[in-house]
Amino acid sequence: MSAVMNETAQGGKSAEKIALENNKLHKRLCRLVGQAIGDFNMIEDGDKVMVCLSGGKDSYALLDILMTLRERAPIHFDIVAVNLDQKQPNFPAEVLPAYLTELGIAFHIENQDTYSIVKRLIPEGKTTCSLCSRLRRGILYRVADELGATKIALGHHRDDILETFFLNMFFGGKLKGMPAKLVSDDGKHVVIRPMAYVKEADTARYAEVKGFPIIPCDLCGSQENLQRKQIKAMLREWEKKHPGRVENIYSSLSTVVPSHLMDRALFDFVNVKADGVPNPLGDIAFDEEPCATPTTMPGTIPLQSF
C-alpha cells in the first residue's frame, strides 16, 4: 500500500495491524473484481478496456485493481483510462493527467463543454443529471470507437446496484437493477462493471489508503438525487439494525425464480398444467412456518407472521 494511515486516524491501531488490514482489503478487492470478471466473462484475451475515470473514489479504485489484475491475468488485455472534462466551473483539469502520467498508464482526456449545454437547455432549479448523463454517454461511446476500445468499464459497485434496484422498484414499478455487463444503447459497445461485487465502504476505505486525488463530484452545482439519498439511508439503516439483510437482498439478485414472480413474459403461466410428477423443490418456501407452530385456530395464519 502506498499510503498507510497514521495511528490516530485508525483509532490507535498499531502500524502492523493497519498494514495487515490494508493488505487484506487490497486482496479482497482483487478477489471480488476478479470473480465478477470471471462470472460475467467481462474481459477476454485481446480486449482493450476503456476505464472511465471521473475523479471519484470508485473509478480510481477500478483502474488501480484492474492494473493489478492485468499483471496477474493469464490473458493479455490493454487498459486505456479516459476522463471527460465537462468544463464544470473549478474542475481541476491538471489532477488526472498528472496522476495518470505518474501511473504510467495510457490515457485520454476528452474536452467537451457539456456543462454549458446543460445550463443552456435546462431551466434553473430543474434537475440536470439526465441530460448531462445522456450527453456524457454519447461522447464516451464515440471516444471508445476512436480509441478502438472493445470494452467500456465503469466504476459502479454493489451499493450502486442495490440503490438502483430499489429506485426502480419504489419509484418505477420495475424489478430492475444495474447490469454487471450489457450492450450499450447504441448497440455497438459492451459495457462492464467489474466492481459489481464490491461494497462502497471498501472503495471508500481503499481510496483513503491509496490517497487517490479525489475530485469533488458536486462541481456542477447539482444536488444529489433525493430519492437515491433516501434509498441509501434506508440501506444503511438496515445494514446497522439487521446485519446480513443487505447481503441477502444482493444475493437474491442472482437467484431469481421467474415461476414465483408475476411476469408473464418471463414464465409461461398460461400453460401451467399438473404433470403428476412430485417436485421436492417446488412451492415450499416458508410454507411450513405458520403451520408448524400453530398458535391460533387451524387454517389461520398468525398475525405476527406478517
Where is the binding site for [4Fe-4S] cluster, in residues? Answer: 129, 132, 220
Q: Closest approach of Cβ 89 to ligand SF4, in Å?
A: 11
Q: Closest approach of Cβ 247 to ligand SF4, in Å?
A: 29
Q: Closest approach of Cβ 137 to ligand SF4, in Å?
A: 10
47's grid cell: 480486449
CA atoms within 13 A on the CB side of 287: 6
**Order of all β-strands in the sheet with 190-192:** 107-111, 78-85, 48-52, 151-153, 190-192, 181-183
Q: Residue 79's CB: how many other CB atoms inside 10 A?
A: 21
Whether 189 and 152 have beta carbons less than 8 Å apart is answered as yes
State the DSSP H helix or E strand holding residue 112, giving kind and residue range, or none if neither. none
Q: How far apart are CA 69 and CA 94, in angstroms?
A: 27
Q: Closest approach of Cβ 217 to ligand SF4, in Å?
A: 6
Q: 185-195: buried (b, 16+ CB within 10 Å) or exposed (e) per residue?
A: eeeebbbbbbb
Give the residue ranges of DSSP H helices in 154-264: 158-172, 200-210, 226-241, 245-252
Judged by CB, which is closer to ligand SF4: 216, or 258? 216
| Cross-strand bridge partners of residue 82 | 52, 108
Judged by the rule CB under 6 A, the positions of this chain that interact with ligand SF4 are 128-129, 132-133, 220, 222
1's grid cell: 500500500
Judged by CB, which is closer to ligand SF4: 93, or 129? 129
Instruction: Please state the φ and ψ torsions of residue 82, each to the nearest 5 degrees.
Output: -130, 130
Judged by CB, which is closer to ligand SF4: 23, or 127? 127
Binding-site residues sit at: 129, 132, 220
Judged by CB, which is closer to ligand SF4: 25, or 129? 129
Judged by CB, which is closer to ligand SF4: 132, or 162? 132
Q: Closest approach of Cβ 90 to ligand SF4, in Å?
A: 13
Q: Closest approach of Cβ 170 to ligand SF4, in Å?
A: 20
What lies within 8 Å, CB to CB, of 129 at 6+ separation is 222, 225
By DSSP bridging, strand 190-192 and strand 181-183 are: antiparallel
Q: Closest approach of Cβ 53 to ligand SF4, in Å?
A: 14
